[in-house]
Copies of this chain bind each other. A is one copy, B any other.
């Protein structure tokens, strides 16, 4: 008798899907903000889905979390205070706390259930449990940033796609609020979707961010479970060139190296042709 197979499929675009064979469903709930689903899979270990899209997986999360964290943190000569907007799964926080220089990392996540389910089923939070430097606040990131001034060295926007709760995180007014919340040599980094599938979004993010920050740069990384497997990040910086690592790496990584850091800012011809 053939084995019964259970597959979970994300429709990455209306015409493209990525599916994984799963062992079991661990958790499923519709929170006030989104549908939350945690499964255990054969290919990627445990996988968190938000609104039906791959958010993070045990096996490939390192590409995304290392690149969204270490590129801005190592471009700054002495970052002490970091704000993460979103990132409730805890992966970005884990990477931030590997930096000995950090004194304070505040995670502002709008959806309490994402934090709860991640603490319960993903290994990220347990790796820095008891570290006195971090704090999780369940709050709207947009409103949180509006209330801050000259406060953070780095802001990391570790958001879902720019629809629903994350839409406001891709606007010029949000970037202005981030600018004010940053210290005079601060950096903002945001995930900015797929270079291949969402070129016009990246162009829009860059155009908006350039109106606010004197330096604006884009870098890319593979992320196998994200649409096209190829992802972008956009940095707004007040002072430092984000493509140049300024500090030595003091811990082990899986994807990031100082050479990867520099190379990730080399953009393909089709992005240059699109004015990016």
Task: Mark A residues whose CB is within 8 Å of B.
Answer: 7, 9, 13-21, 41-43, 60, 195-197, 220, 222, 224, 228-230, 252-257, 259-260, 262-264, 266-270, 272-273
Contacts and interface: CB of A to CB of B under 8 A. Distances in A.
A-B interface, 5 closest residue pairs, ranked by CB to CB distance from nearest: A229-B229, A15-B42, A263-B263, A222-B230, A263-B266
Given A222-B222, A228-B222, A257-B269, A16 B21 contact: yes
Contact of A196 (B16, B222, B230, B252): B222
Nearest to A18: B18
Contact of A7 (B7, B17, B224, B264): B17
Contacts of A264: 263
Contacts of A273: 254
Contacts of A256: 268-269
A20 to B, nearest CB: 6
A100 to B, nearest CB: 19
Contacts of A230: 222, 224, 229-230
A4 to B, nearest CB: 14
A197 B269 CA distance: 27
Given A224-B230, A268-B257, A15 B20 contact: yes
A266 B259 contact: yes
A13 to B, nearest CB: 6
Interface centre among A196, A229, A264 (most CB of B within 10 A): A229
B269 A253 contact: yes
11 contacts: A15-B42, A19-B19, A196-B224, A220-B222, A229-B230, A253-B269, A254-B268, A259-B266, A260-B266, A260-B267, A260-B268
A268 to B, nearest CB: 5
A197 to B, nearest CB: 8
A165 to B, nearest CB: 26
Given A15-B41, A224-B230, A254-B269, 15 more contacts: A7-B17, A9-B19, A16-B21, A17-B20, A18-B19, A197-B224, A222-B229, A253-B269, A254-B268, A254-B270, A254-B273, A255-B270, A257-B272, A260-B267, A262-B263
